[in-house]
Every structure is written in structure tokens, then in C-alpha cells.
Amino acid sequence: MAVAAPRVLLDTTAIIESGFGRSGAFAHLLRDAADQRVEVIVPELVVREAVFVYRRTLFNYREALEDLPSLARAAGHEWDLPQRSEVVQRLEAALRQRLTDAGITPAPAPAIEGDALVRRVLGRRKPTKQLAVGQDGRELKDQTEGFRDQLVWEHVRAAAEHGPVVFVSDNTSDFGVRKSRKDGRAELHPDLVEDLEDDRKSKRSTGEVELLLDVETFVRDYLHDEDATQDMERLLEAGARDAAADQLRLLVSRDGLGVDVFVPPVAVQGDVEEATLLDFFGPFDIELVDAYLESAEDEPREYGVTLRVRGGGTVDWLVTAPASWDLDVYAGLVEGDVGGGGFIQDVDTSPVEITAYGRYRPRGESWEELEAEPAEQTEDEAEARRRKHDQTWFEMEQELGLAPSDEEIDRYGGDGRPPRSGTFRQTRSPGPGRRAERRKRLR
């Protein structure tokens, strides 16, 4: 008996965190969809919402987009940017065309009983959020009803009528259990598990739905090409690894690269508005994440490849509207009004990690269209800096008498470790398609 192809339904976060459909893992998914190795379901409302988020992101940076052409001309370069509306139209057209080329037609919303939907929303049943209350105990006004999320969940339940389905969404605030997030997977929220149990009892479906957090995990677990992976591992050892590192190093030094996760060397109370990788240097640790055969059988071999590259980096970072603590710690780096406002800008060397994807042609030993997602500080480095921040903050509170002294800790017990202050905010570098966006609640 033939094994049925896996079936996957994509939420909006799956599109956005895949670079709005341009990442290597997403290309792998589309290629296998075209080859009918996987059934991909993309609701029409997901496409529309992804375009909406892209438009909103551009709007948030409208002033920069308007100023860039004049700034470029001032430096002697002609650089004309299209109107934001035209950029949004291009994004939507390109996304829809990629789906069409893979044989994917965005699915219309399934039929749903209006009264049942109203009952779910008013009962604050997931994926609608629970009502929030203010300090006075009263419900806050103008709280979201989660209408689009409810429709996405109905898409999932309808898809499950035709067999097991994998639901890809990073929105565990509404669809999953946050604390269960691990290795690209999470548990569905108990309300949704109960819905699936009701579907089984009513014979609507077998209710087999699995929650994954991103397209990369789905490709890894369901579409992994063992032969292509082994071939690519061999090619990396034969020289493709060094060629990729050289190309990434050149890309960063030429254009710079946004940094999604960056923790400054000393605690800041304000938000890090921007972090940019200026230089990327070895020694490099290069891990093969994914590989698949891109070429047809009658063509010279070409592999679609995703790499994770770790190395050293020089990061330029900026804090606007620094707080009094920041002004004190970074007194020599503050520009503007030191009595309030101004900004802090500094350069820091740190271990970083880049996810890159492109095509590799063994015949010419060349990488084609190698692109890089925004860099991230390595997890170990970021955590070590957070702990340093907590220690620094705790010592400051001790000096102000807001925290117990070391003598009091020794006298009354305790492990001597400072509590997490919660004042440090992890930076997210702006920009459409960056992986920082995939971690925000969209709704």
C-alpha cells in the first residue's frame, strides 16, 4: 500500500518567518509540493494577513524609506525607491506566483455557523485570548476577538476531515501551550484538543492534528532527503564549506546584515532600536540544516541548501531615548541631550550565528543566489550577558538599599544568586521578513 503524502496547513507566522516565502526551507516545501510529495494548504486569509503585516511593517519605517533616496544622492549615489504601495503589490504578486507555480491555490474560508463562532468568541474559547483586566479589576476596553484566528482553526479542523494534518504556526499564545515549545514543536491548547475530541466523537474527522512552529521543522521531519543530505555533506567537506564562508563574509562586509537577537555588553534599560552586523569572521562552524536536489534528472546536479554558520562578528548597535541608568553607564557614548533623550551608539565584538540558503552547483563548485537571514547572537553568549546584566542590576539595587546585602543573604539563607530583574528587554532589529517578526503576536 502506498504511503500517503504528508499534509500541512500554514498559518500567517509560517509565511512571515520564512522571509515572506523566500527562505530555503520554504523553497524546499514548494518544490516538493510541485512534485506532489506533500499537500500544502494555505488559507486565502493567511496570504492576505501576511501582506497586511508586510504593509504595516513598511508603514512603521515610512520616514526612513522616504529619506533614504535623498541621503543616497547626498553621497553621490542615485537610489530611487518605489512607492510603498508598489512594493506591497510586488510582494503579494511574487508570493501568490510562487504558490501557483507549486500547484497551491489559496483556500477560501470554510463554511462556519455564525452563532457557533459568536459563542466561541464571547466565551473567550481559544484561539481567542482571555479577557484582560486593569489594576482596578475591571475588564479593559477594545480587546481583540481573535476572529481571524478562529477562522484559521476552522481551516485546520476542516483539513483534518480528510486525514492527519500538520499545522504550522509560531502563535503558541493562541493555538498552543507556550511552555511546551521544544525543538520546533509544541502542544495544542487544551481548548483545541477538546475540539478535536468532539470531532472524533461526532465522526467529523479522526482529529489528528500536530502543531509545529516553523516550516524548517516540517521540512526536517517530513521531507528530509537522505541521499541529497549525504551528497551535500561530502561536498561541504570537499570545499563547498569554505566557499560558503567566503561568500557570507563578503556579503556582510559589503552590505551589512541586521541582527535580530543582540544583548549589549552592559545592561541597558532602554530598547536597542537597531543592531547591524558589520563584519563576520572565523573560525567558522558550519552546520548543514537541509539539502534537496533542485535540478531535474536530465540536468547537471544542483542542490538547494540551508546552512547554519557560527563565527565572530562586529555589531553596531543603537539605543534611542536612553534611561538615566543608561546615561550613567554609557556616559562617554551618549550623543544629543544628556539630560534626557539623546542616543547611545557603540560597536561590540560577539559570537554570532547566521542562517543562509542558496543553491550549490558541484560542476562549477559555485554557490548561486546565496542569501542570509538576519544574524543572531549565539544563545550561550546572549544568556551569559543576560546573567551579567542581572548581576549588575542586583548590585545596583543593593547599593540603593532595594535588595538584601550579601551579609543579609548569608545570614538569612539563599543561594546568593540575584533574581532576574525583568528590566532588560531583548532587542529585535526591524525589517520585513526578519525572524524577529515571526516571534511577535500578529493578532
pLDDT per position as a tens digit, 89-130: 999 999 999 999 999 999 999 988 878 888 887 888 888 887
Alpha carbons 276 and 410: distance in angstroms, whole number: 43
Which of 144-153, 275-284, 364-373 is modeled with the greatest confidence? 275-284
Those residues whose C-beta lies under 8 Å from the C-beta of residue 167, and which sit 6 or more positions away, are 8, 9, 11, 156, 175, 209, 210, 211, 212
278, 315 contact by CB (below 8 A): yes
189, three cell numbers:
491548547
361, 295 contact by CB (below 8 A): no
393, 387 contact by CB (below 8 A): no
Burial zone of 89 (CB within 10 Å; 0-12 exposed, 13-18 middle, 19+ buried): middle
Alpha carbons 301 and 290: distance in angstroms, whole number: 16
Give per-residue pLDDT as tens, 309-364: 999 999 998 877 666 666 666 666 665 554 455 677 889 999 999 999 999 999 88
Q: Where are the domains of the chain?
A: 7-222, 226-439
Show the DSSP H helices in 135-240 as ranges.
147-159, 190-201, 215-222, 226-235
Q: Which residues of 103-113 are buried (b: 16+ CB within 10 A; e: fewer)?
A: ebebbeeeebe
- Minimum mean pLDDT among 219-233, 361-375, 387-401: which range? 387-401
25, 219 contact by CB (below 8 A): yes
181, three cell numbers:
515549545
Cα 248 to Cα 94, 383, 426, distances in angstroms = 25, 25, 26
Residue 425: strand, helix, or coil: coil
6: confidence class by pLDDT, cuts 50, 70, 90: very high
The pLDDT value recorded for residue 125 is 85
Give the closest residue to 330 by CA, choosing from 282, 406, 267. 267
Higher pLDDT, 65 or 173: 173
Residue 207 DSSP class: -
Q: Which amino acid is at 162?
A: H
